[in-house]
Amino acid sequence: MLAIVLMGPPGAGKGTHAKWMAEEYQIPHISTGDMFRAAMSSGSELGLKIKAIVDRGDLVDDDLTVALVRERLLQDDCKNGYLLDGFPRTLAQAEAFQEMGREIDRAPNLVLNLTCPDDVLLKRIGGRRVCPTCGASYNIHTMKPQKEGICDRCGSQLIQRKDDNPSSFEIRLRNYYASTEPLLDYYRRQGLLKEFDGTEAANNLKIELETLLASYR
């Protein structure tokens, strides 16, 4: 059984690796960032509030985030595992998740951390282009789509995320080191943490991850 939490700074490759893992192991990919972006585009009052927070690079309120994840994990497709991408991001979220996970029988059994130095992150985020339709991610320097500006998977026009600008990125990175990185110790102490080098070429890292995950199936 794979109940995975995927961690790492913004740009470490969480989204890229989450996509194939979810497909290969048939577990739902639950990205809180994607969930918030969906709420943002709905135009609801709550969505607009979330948009202001996300666009400037700040973190959404813990209680709201935990409630959203709880509801998602309760859905039937999470019974046999899941891949959480972007949650938990604060100690308060991790502690609430610990309790809630036990309560609804959805505790994680593996925490993957992708490491990556700041200069690489900055370069990746600056060149990142995403597909608003299918969520695929590209990079104009290193992971170009076959046709410039067009998604290989679904043909949509690629966009740059609004929070992928230098000032929002700086805030995201600061929040990561202040609030999220300390969680690594929390999960290390529980014996759940496995670390990987996020600067490695995606296909090499994929093989390493597959080797580890084979022993969890």
Active site residues: 14, 89, 128, 161, 172
Among 18, 130, 151, 183, binds Zn ion (CB under 5 A): 151
> In the complex, which residue's CB is closest to ligand ADP?
33
Task: Tell me whether residue 147 or residue 153 sits nearer to Zn ion (CB atom).
Answer: 153
Q: What is the CA radius of gyration of the chain?
A: 17
CA–CA separation, 216 and 136 (whole Å): 26
Applying the rule CB under 5 A, the residues between 69 and 108 that interact with Zn ion are none
- Contacting residues toward ligand ADP, per CB under 6 A: 10, 14, 32-33, 36, 53-54, 57-60, 65, 86-89, 93, 163, 172
DSSP-assigned letter for residue 26: T
Least CB distance to ligand ADP at residue 83 (A): 13
CB count in 10 Å sphere of residue 137: 18
Applying the rule CB under 5 A, the residues between 110 and 149 that interact with Zn ion are 131, 133-134, 136
Given Zn ion, ligand ADP, none, residue 13, with its beta carbon under 5 to 8 Å by kind, binds none
Query: 3-state DSSP call for residue 117?
Result: coil
First vs last C-alpha separation in the chain? 5
Helix (H) or strand (E) holding 177: none
**Structure token pair of residue 147:** 């046709």
